[in-house]
Amino acid sequence: MVERSLSATPFHWFGLLAVAFAAVVADQVTKQIVVSQLELGESVHVVGPLEIRHVTNPGIAFGLFSSWATAVTILTAAAVGWMLFYFARSGARHPVLPVALGLLVGGSLSNLLDRLRLGHVTDFLDLRFWPAFNLADAFIVVGVALLLAALVSAERQPRHRRTAPKTTG
């Protein structure tokens, strides 16, 4: 039995890089719009519980580890490196992997750029019942969900078709 290679091909890499690039651009553009239009702490009601509120976060999710900015930066860079290494070895494992890891890498890189450039991340999507977040955070969450779904579906054993018994006659 011949096994196919699971390594990422140029086509897979193009998909991952295109998604990651789009995620970085979308996140950086929306953050720049918020910074240029709203003062820090200012908000604008959009609809229902959604507000656009300009806040900064030196830590990670929910402001955790805000005093560990250097460690967060190093861990984020290491996580991006690990994701790219994993993708190089397993990018052809499932057709959704370039999108899932593209969202994860793009979101992580965009927030990493902010930490390196500004020392904090700009958050602006505020649902009032949840801490404010940005598009990069949303891309990371969606990427993780897609990645888990892809990994679970790739590990399932293929179903064997039942065939009708052959009749002799």
Average per-residue pLDDT for the chain: 86
User: Which pLDDT score is estimated for 30?
Assistant: 98
> What is the pLDDT averaged over residues 18-26?
98
List 27, 114, 126, 137, catalytic entry: 137
Cα–Cα distances (Å) from 162 to 78, 102, 108, 168, in that order, read 47, 38, 45, 18
pLDDT tens digits for 45-84? 999 999 999 999 877 665 555 666 677 788 888 988 988 8
pTM value is 0.82
48: left (phi over 0), alpha (psi -120 to 50) or beta: left
The pLDDT of residue 57:
87
Which pLDDT does position 91 carry in this prediction?
72
Catalytic residue at 123? yes
For residue 65, the model assigns a pLDDT of 58
137 is catalytic: yes
Res 8: pLDDT: 78
End-to-end Cα separation, the chain, in angstroms = 35
Q: What is the mean pLDDT of residues 126-154?
A: 90
Place of tokens 């656009």: 52
Half-sphere exposure of 122 (CA within 13 A, CB side): 24
Residue 50 is predicted with a pLDDT of: 96
Domain positions in the chain are 10-154
Calpha distance 123→34 (Å, rounded): 9
Catalytic hit among 27, 114, 123, 126: 123
